Chains A and B, each alone.
Chain A
């Protein structure tokens, strides 16, 4: 019955769930249903969505990267620190580009280890996560930078939509939503319309078949991890900008929210499946839930638990539908059992 609505990765169902949750929360707590909340959820989604795009790409390719948060803060903090130490303010764009270079470099480290030594991606990125953090704190700096370059501060205070209302709280849509939307469209285009994107799907589907089809599998895997590094670095700079401080202890530890969003969005942890639309919906869903729990006064510890449950539900649904799809092969695997 729902088949028509499902979409290739259950996006339809997810959208429905999102709507139901929003309606339910709004009924329980009318304050929630407002432009203010909507804009603040969008603002809250800026950083997780960029992260999620990177994680989506790497999950489709059949791997996982848990070092993205470490890469993000490493790249962003280092870029900001260079500007501060050098006493110059190159502006958001140049800082982002600088950070992106660091992100690419760290991504290359991940990619080189994974693609050349054929090691499990979770273990490798878990290792590099520690490595990147360690190097950042030991060699770059451990000090909290409370006053990043003025140009970032300017951006932090810029909204593209500001509705100031006498009785209510104002509603502000942050300007950084714009580059995020552009990035999202770019990634969607890359995955769907470029051979590089299709190669990522192919490798996630069957890497040996991809090799036999003539894809340069090692090179593509390296590029995937570099890309994740770059996206993470951009997210890191945006995070620093929005928070108006650069803290080397930041971000790491919140990877779960992002991975949960991507998996809820229909990306298969076995690789080869996933969509940008699903990921966007997944990020929004997690943000809505975190936000409403916050409004309801639920402590953060319980928010983490809620996200954990969501992740398990998401993976569970995937496992179930995978089982249904391969019912027949499952059946034969059980032969005589």
Chain B
């Protein structure tokens, strides 16, 4: 064998097939993990990454195929036997216990694994504190997980996987909610784990990140195994090609809006103590305005103030020259503002309802016939067109959202927002967790929405994305707009420098 020089894989899956009610989520997929290496598992939304991970962790049983741990065939892997074999997973949905404390969440699986009979809250706290310190984090150990921000939930899930002396650690999109510093910490930890001989799987739609951290690569497309190889033989372009099966343009492509005298939205001297200060800007119809800054810079708070989630204390907002009062979300919606929140994977969706019902849930008022009855035909037209435009990968509009992959569920939230046809669209991290091919599609949708005369605000720290669509970019630092980039000033390097300066 050509690869005989390589050490025996710690874990190997061969020819895994998994179908969900007729949909082949995995079709003859194989992957081998070696000690001390990070294996990047990449592919579009819904290509089967999370499904493969659930098979490795014993949560799902494959229809056919085999799993070997240390060369030994595993007959029927259960979550418990997988954990006992030293496999730890950071699930895409975290799989934490909302009603338990951070400390208990971090320590509970290791307690299950050693078949502990008794539980001591104080010991759990000490153990959790150790790992948190090791990672250089600050987390409130006694807080209930349900009260945490998404980023803190993600950190909790990471700590939980790391506290066990695992031999295999699988990370399913572990960085979606993290800041650069936290990602750097995580990568430091990954390096240490590699030195200890741990085998890792890393899933992320951020390709730079994946290439930076991994040694091996496996790419799936539509449940099929496309290629496996050594990471150094891939670059962003080739990776993108394998993932999507085509060339993806990430070039800057903007149409200049007609700068009418009257802006669509004018924000003046918006203040909210402790969050942001004296924020003023205009947004023209047809314009895509980027707002960037580090996490915690106030960028999210500004968006939430505009949408009435946490109203500003002072300042004015005008739409079409009319001053509006945004005290509540209802006010904002009435004024024609739509918002895509940062944390949407776990929020805003009725998981057991169909894709169609979810898309239409926000805009029923717009689909009433003359007698106030719901207009069935209009509804199915809207949902179907959203479904097609957003290229949601699901059997049909009537598939329940729960059966969708993470990235596809996210598109449903976007569809729900667009179905309401707001004048001003505010999107907070519209492509977080979305694959590279769909990212381009989503950005194209935003361009279309702008061309229809809407004003679009994109809040993001993805500089490539901002470069690709924005007419102007506002840079927020410590709650203040410190700079506005226009035209040729909008480059990735410029944005990165400005945000961290």
Contact = CB atoms under 8 A, between A and B. Distances in A.
B112 A213 contact: yes
B95 A205 contact: no
A208 B91 CA distance: 12
Interface string A318-337: 00000001101101111111
Nearest to B89: A212
B109 A213 contact: yes
A250 to B, nearest CB: 36
Contacts of B364: 337
A211 to B, nearest CB: 6
A206 B347 contact: no
Contact of A214 (B80, B120, B361, B419): B80
A201 interface: yes
Contact of B347 (A199, A215, A273, A329): A329
Counting chain B residues whose Cβ lies within 8 A of the other chain, the interface size class is 35 or more
A205 B97 contact: yes
B99 A205 contact: yes
A137 interface: no
Interface string A195-238: 11111011011101111111110000000000000000000000
A267 B478 CA distance: 42
Most chain B Cβ neighbours within 10 Å, of A194, A199, A212: A212
B118 A194 contact: yes
B257 interface: no
A308 B280 CA distance: 55
B348 interface: yes
Most chain B Cβ neighbours within 10 Å, of A213, A328, A329: A213
A174 B318 CA distance: 73
Interface in B379-397: none
Interface in A236-271: none
Contact of A204 (B99, B104, B113, B117): B99
Nearest to A268: B99
A192 B101 CA distance: 13
B91 A212 contact: yes
Interface residues of A, number: 35
Interface in B79-119: 79-80, 83-84, 89, 91, 95-100, 104, 108-109, 111-113, 116-119
A212 B79 contact: yes
B297 to A, nearest CB: 20
A329 B344 CA distance: 9
Contact of A213 (B84, B95, B343): B95
B99 A195 contact: no
B59 interface: yes
Interface in B349-368: 350, 361-364
B329 interface: yes
A336 B422 CA distance: 9
Contacts of A210: 97
Contacts of B118: 193-195
Nearest to A198: B119
B309 interface: yes
A202 B347 CA distance: 21
Contacts of A336: 333, 338, 361-363, 416-417, 419-420, 422
Contact of B97 (A209, A214, A326, A334): A209
Interface in B398-436: 413, 416-417, 419-420, 422
Given A195-B118, A213-B109, A336-B338, A272 B95 contact: no
B59 A193 contact: no
Interface of A: 192-199, 201-202, 204-206, 208-216, 272-273, 325-326, 328-329, 331-337
Q: Which 6 A-B pairs have the closest CB atoms?
A: A336-B362, A272-B99, A205-B99, A205-B97, A336-B420, A332-B348
Given A192-B119, A204-B99, A335-B348, 9 more contacts: A194-B118, A195-B116, A202-B97, A210-B97, A213-B109, A214-B112, A214-B113, A336-B416, A336-B420
